């Protein structure tokens, strides 16, 4: 009797999460360990964001949301805040030049009213260009706080009720979500926090109800596509039940 060994067939690769969110943490510590000013860490971190966003697009992720500047970050030194805003302006100028080539849509989430007129004008231009593209979208949380977002949404809903446009007794989670900064964007599947800190820091509090978390000691300026692959592999090892039993 002849025996024939079957060829092994590798399983197809698992699809990446549809939406990944990242708390970009560790820029200042990275710079301090290297004897550099904290502003150098933010500059390095902005370049990592560019690389990771491109990688996410290339592997089929639909949405990437990053925590760039929180409502609490205004407490930092004027020098550091000015440097962060300057880096954002630099990034937007470059993005406007490359968006047609890169086909990366940008959207900004947060209370933008505190930003400078120059930065607001750049954001408006970026939004106008982004409307032309479909596909991968990078969301930048700027002057953002999860609690602030929920309060902002509650106020907007209350105003709608006063105008007779909404009924508080008929409010649903889906309807409330339409008042959030992230309206129209699916909730994140995976939230990543580099730097060794193990907390959510007021990030996407409403949207993260059923997100999977991944924490790593790697500081954000050292975060690479290979590190993202590790996070995605860990995500695929989770059993997402959404309150049910599987």
**Could you give the residue numbers annotated as active site?**
25, 73
| Residue 24 neighbours by CB distance under 10 Å | 25
DSSP-assigned beta bridge partners for residue 20: 64, 190
For the chain, strand residue ranges (E) read 19-23, 63-70, 105-109, 137-144, 190-193, 212-215
CA-wise closest residue to 140 among 103, 94, 107, 177 = 107
Tokens representing 240 are 């997402």
DSSP symbols for 90-141:
HHHHHHHHHHHHH--EEEEES-GGGS-HHHHHHHHHHHHHHTT--S-EEEEE
The whole-angstrom separation of Cα 4 and Cα 38 is 63
């Amino acid at each position: 009797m002849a025996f024939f060994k079957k060829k092994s067939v590798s399983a197809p690769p698992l699809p990446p999460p549809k939406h990944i969110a990242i708390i970009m943490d560790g820029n200042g510590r990275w710079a301090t360990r290297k004897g550099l000013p904290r502003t150098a860490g933010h500059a390095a971190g902005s370049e990592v964001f560019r690389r990771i966003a491109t990688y996410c697009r290339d592997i089929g992720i639909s949405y990437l949301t990053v925590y760039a500047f929180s409502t609490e970050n205004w407490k930092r030194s004027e020098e550091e805040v000015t440097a962060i805003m300057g880096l954002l302006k630099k990034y937007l100028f470059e993005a406007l030049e490359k968006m047609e080539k890169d086909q990366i849509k940008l959207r900004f989430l947060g209370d933008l009213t505190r930003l400078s007129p120059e930065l607001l004008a750049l954001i408006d231009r970026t939004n106008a260009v982004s409307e032309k593209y479909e596909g991968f979208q990078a969301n930048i949380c700027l002057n953002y706080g999860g609690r602030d977002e929920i309060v902002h949404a509650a106020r907007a809903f209350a105003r709608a009720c006063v105008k007779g446009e909404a009924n508080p007794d008929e409010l649903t989670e889906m309807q409330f979500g339409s008042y959030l900064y992230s309206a129209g964007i699916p909730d994140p599947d995976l939230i990543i926090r580099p730097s060794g800190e193990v907390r959510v820091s007021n990030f996407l509090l409403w949207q993260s109800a059923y997100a999977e978390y991944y924490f790593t000691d790697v500081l954000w300026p050292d975060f690479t596509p290979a590190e993202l692959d590790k996070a995605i592999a860990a995500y695929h090892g989770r059993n997402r039940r959404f309150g049910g039993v599987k």
